[in-house]
Amino acid sequence: MLSGKSAIVTGSTSGIGLGIARGLAASGANVMLNGFGDSGEIEAIREDLANGHNVKVLYSGANMADENEIAGMIAGAEDAFGGVDILVNNAGIQYVAPIEEFPVEKWNAILAINLSSAFHTTRLAVPGMKKRSWGRIVNIASAHALVASPFKSAYVAAKHGIAGLTKTAALELAEHGITVNAVCPGYVMTPLVEKQIPEQAKARGITEQQVISDVLLAAQPTKRFVTVEELAALVNFLCTDHARSITGTALPVDGGWTAH
């Protein structure tokens, strides 16, 4: 379905990003992985994807808070693959605290990784996409790109920013065969969400089980976590020609959360 295309998926050594990378590779796309983790485990993932799907799979450890490292990653993918056709901006971090106690360094890091990195990858990948008159940019936002929650000032601000960046880029690129969309998941049981649970418990003065039942899943009428596979399937579809008329959208995959 995506044979001959090449993709970069940021933040793809675990969780949602890895699921998306697996889906793209299974559809025939070459993939550049990106993220942190144990080098042996990352190499095992890279080999598994490459051998299992007969595609080229590379890895970049570029820090998404560093625009120079981002530029190096994009250039490396273009050299190795001959171009970047698909860009999935998934890298993200989270921190939970009352706004008056929110550490400034955490604010700066979240804005850099969750928002500015998507600007840098997009500005660097677009020239090649324009030359080929084809491109797919998918920004993994959040239900928090559409609604807010307490104690997440930086994350909510960054994800609202991603929604705006998505719309603006979509309008600019609409006549160049390039679509730009945001996928807005509700709660997915990933390492990022697992880390939030004790932080939320501390911030709210409740137990971790209460965070799961009364805070996280309370927002989702389905009362279940969104799965990585569901998100990967949607991203895959958005990267096909069947989705060429879908652009500038923020697509909730949130169990009905934002229908409230």
Instruction: For Cα atoms 236, 156, 116, give the angle at the middle one, nearest 5 degrees.
Output: 70
From the list 90, 82, 122, 87, the residue with the least C-alpha distance to 14 is 90
The SS3 call for residue 171 is helix
Q: How many helices (H) and strands (E) does the chain have?
A: 9, 7
Given the residues 59, 95, 155, 187, the one annotated as active site: 155
CB burial string 193-202: b at 16+ within 10 A, e below: beebbebbbe
- Identify whether 155 is a catalytic site residue: yes
Strand (E) positions, 61-199? 86-89, 135-140, 178-185
Q: How far apart are CA 250 and CA 120, in angstroms?
A: 20
Tokens 């500038």, residue located: 248
Cβ(222)–Cβ(256) below 8 Å:
yes
From the list 254, 238, 255, the residue with the least C-alpha distance to 20 is 238
Q: How far apart are CA 66 and CA 78, in angstroms?
A: 19
Q: How far apart are CA 25 and CA 35, in angstroms?
A: 17
Q: Which active-site residues does the annotation give?
A: 155
